[in-house]
Amino acid sequence: MSILEAFDMMDYGPAPEDPAEALAWLDAHERRFNLFIAGEWRAPASESWFESMNPATGETLAHVASAGAADVDAAVAAARRAQPDWWALGCHGRARYLYALARQVQKHSRRLAVLDSLDNGKPIREMRDIDVPLVARHFYHHAGWAQLLAEEFPGHEPLGVAGQVIPWNFPLLMLAWKIAPALATGNTVVLKPAEFTPLTALAFAELCREVGLPAGVVNIVTGAGDTGAALVAHPDVDKVAFTGSTEVGREIRRATADSSKRLTLELGGKSPFIVFDDADLDSAVEGLVDGIWFNQGEVCCAGSRLLVHEPVAERLLGKLRRRMGTLRLGPPQDKAIDVGAVVAPVQLERIRSLVDQAVADGATCYQADTPLPEKGLFYPPTLLTDVGPASIAAQTEIFGPVLTVMTFRTPDEAVTLANNTPYGLAASVWSENINVALGLAPRLKAGVVWVNSTNRFDAACGFGGYRESGYGREGGREGLVEYLIPDWQRRLPALREPEQSLPSAAFGSAPGTGAPLGIDRTAKLYIGGRQTRPDGGNSVPVATADGQHLGEVPLGNRKDIRDAVEAAHKAEAWEHSDGHTRAQILYYVAENLAERGEEFAARLRHMTAADVANARREVETSVERIFAAAAWCDKHDGAVHDPPGRNLTVALQEPMGTIGIVCPECAPLLAFVSLALHAVAAGNRVVAIPSPRYPLIVTDFYQVLETSDVPPGVVNIVTGRPAELSPVLAGHADVAAIWYFGAPSGTVAVKSASVSNMKRVWTHEGRGIDWYDPRQGQGRELLRQATQVKNVWVPYGE
């Protein structure tokens, strides 16, 4: 071909990356890898190895050890042994290792890029320009956190041993997201890479040896799902960090429910990509290429649902179809390739079958006339139109290069469609009007919102989901706290069953007989700002500390819980109220409680047998606690990050939504106001279940709420048997988080029920907290539990 002809065609020639260095590395290991435990390569106890395959060619790349329970046990034991010294090494010591790892990743960047490209089928260009630089950035950033840990997180300790399980779509990047924060915070790690893509984790193990990382600080156990299951179930693991499908996330939540392991879950998504009629459509098309065809669409936060403003829908789709015709599919190691191979036959089959089902349901399928390679696992970029919001194509995470399209007419409709998914990982909003874009961002249920951009990541900006996309964040300050524990939490006394109190609290004896106290008080449920009778029409007696009949409380049932959650749902405006308004209302609550302080103190005395001084102290501390909650209303601020690449990333502290609170018996007034009013201060609505022993102090409190301008539905109270009500609350799909401080025996049921919508569970695992201690009963830890970080990325510049 002449130069003139080449200019005329403007076609790409092949630009293959040389895989020699990566293949030589595999050869140097004789294409056979053992487990990396305690700084050594160890053969698996089972003596079994599985194949890791190149999906673009079908060739076997290496044989990799399959770890069984005994190997996992050895790895966890090695991590446990290494942990105290790793923590004792101190901030600077750990920072040096993380820095060395960052440098080592850079020094071997091409080998790592090629290995993941070979193993996963992803384009080398993406590995070279996106994944590997982000991996290095993650280790640099966390070297910094390691250095600053004592200064920035005083009074915090590592959790201990972290069991980490990662998926196959970003093998090395997911490893970095897991390992860097764990090491920076003084934890040690056992990591299980995905069965399809173990190679870069093994290469990373070698880097750990090269930098002289102490043995046992990082352990890599390769294997399939069983290996992951053995790791998360291991009794000596303190923290489980999982990235993968929502389905497996659910299994892990169940499998860890009977333990006190801390859990973070980064799960799937079905993220909306919203284009307004004033958007720069050509940029939006490039955004879509990146949003859904990056990494073959095997991206948790892929913009897989295009929601386009009706007036520009046809124009945008015309441009998009033309652009699809220019995408190049082919050998992943070709630097001019846009779309590589799908990771495995089973994934290819899943994509095909979901597209077939969508078409059978009435969707129209468009695929450009781009030739597919003859060999290997390839699927063409696909556009599905005529898709209904409830169809399989709009609801199911396909995890492939498939974009579904729906239109909207108004911003409200865009928000409704965008949120019409159980997931909540990410969203993109395209509009040249920054007011429109930033107006929409807080209304989208997603942990990340990209304005006029997509798939932006940085180590300083936490990443993670709302709703069934999981909980916890990776990256930034919010990612670090997931690996730390305040030191006082380690020293909490265990509660005895059925007692739920701290020894210091003065509680009375079992019910008996005694003189009546005067006029009987008729407590009711408090739902939607109204005192209501229970659905079941039954009440249960409540006794004083010395056994006299004090009153009766309604026996709430599951219907009452549902009504309370519905009332909370209707009070959504509270979520969008400003901090100043919320503070004013909470101060007013404190004022009204103070006004009736003597009455509440007398009530506490009758109920709990506290002496006068203690009862007054509880009321006074409660008033102070409400002041503290009010004070925080306008101070639990977010942050503005300045990540590389001309973006401002605004980290918003958003309320969870409706929080279910199961109250402890101890300090019944103080604990209730501490929990409920911090939740409310952060913009949440609350459904509270008082303790069965002292419910009347909480039902008395609704009179204070009623006189303090708290909008109906913001606080709801359902009395009854917590053992019956808590799992209902924990299982309700419209409850975003559950705070369980009830009887220790109820903890497992609550955690298990929380899988319904993968809600975040906060509990002290059957340990008693001292509600009088401000470190334990107020402030940042409560607010952290009451909020979730949403990062809104706003690009700037021409």
Q: Which residues bind ligand NDP (CB under 6 A)?
A: 165-169, 192, 194-195, 224-225, 228-229, 232, 243-245, 248, 251-252, 266-269, 300, 397, 399, 425, 465, 469-470
CA distance 620 to 245: 48
Give the other-Cβ count within 10 Å of 235's Cβ. Answer: 8
Torsion angles phi and psi, residue 428, rounded to 5 = -120, 140
300 part of the active site: yes
CA distance 686 to 701: 14
Which residue in 208, 298, 300, 478 is the catalytic one?
Answer: 300
- Angle, alpha carbons 288-292-298 (nearest 5°): 165
Tell me how far the alpha carbon of residue 655 is from its chain's centroid.
14
CA distance 302 to 396: 12
DSSP state of 128: I
CB 166, min distance to ligand NDP, A = 6
Torsion angles phi and psi, residue 116, rounded to 5 = -65, -35
**3 state DSSP class of 61:** strand
Closest to 534 in 3D by CA, of 330, 721, 766: 721
Closest to 737 in 3D by CA, of 568, 582, 589: 568
Torsion angles phi and psi, residue 20, rounded to 5 = -55, -45
CA distance 79 to 85: 11
CA distance 4 to 1: 8
CB 469, min distance to ligand NDP, A = 6
Provide DSSP, 91-119: HHHHHHHHHHHHHHHHHTHHHHHHHHHHH
Q: Which amino acid is at 239?
A: K
Which residue in 126, 195, 266, 618 is the catalytic one?
Answer: 266
618 part of the active site: no
CB 230, min distance to ligand NDP, A = 8
CA distance 739 to 754: 11
Closest to 760 in 3D by CA, of 298, 420, 447: 447
**3 state DSSP class of 571:** coil
CA distance 458 to 471: 18
Give the other-Cβ count within 10 Å of 660's Cβ. Answer: 32
CA distance 510 to 495: 18
Closest to 125 in 3D by CA, of 289, 265, 262: 289
CB 197, min distance to ligand NDP, A = 8
Q: Which residue is nearest to ligand NDP (CB)?
A: 228
CA distance 305 to 322: 19
Q: What is the CA radius of gyration of the chain?
A: 28
- Sign (positive or negative) of CA dihedral 297, 351, 357, 391: negative
CA distance 741 to 689: 10
- Angle, alpha carbons 659-759-576 (nearest 5°): 45
Task: Write out the catalytic residue numbers.
Answer: 266, 300
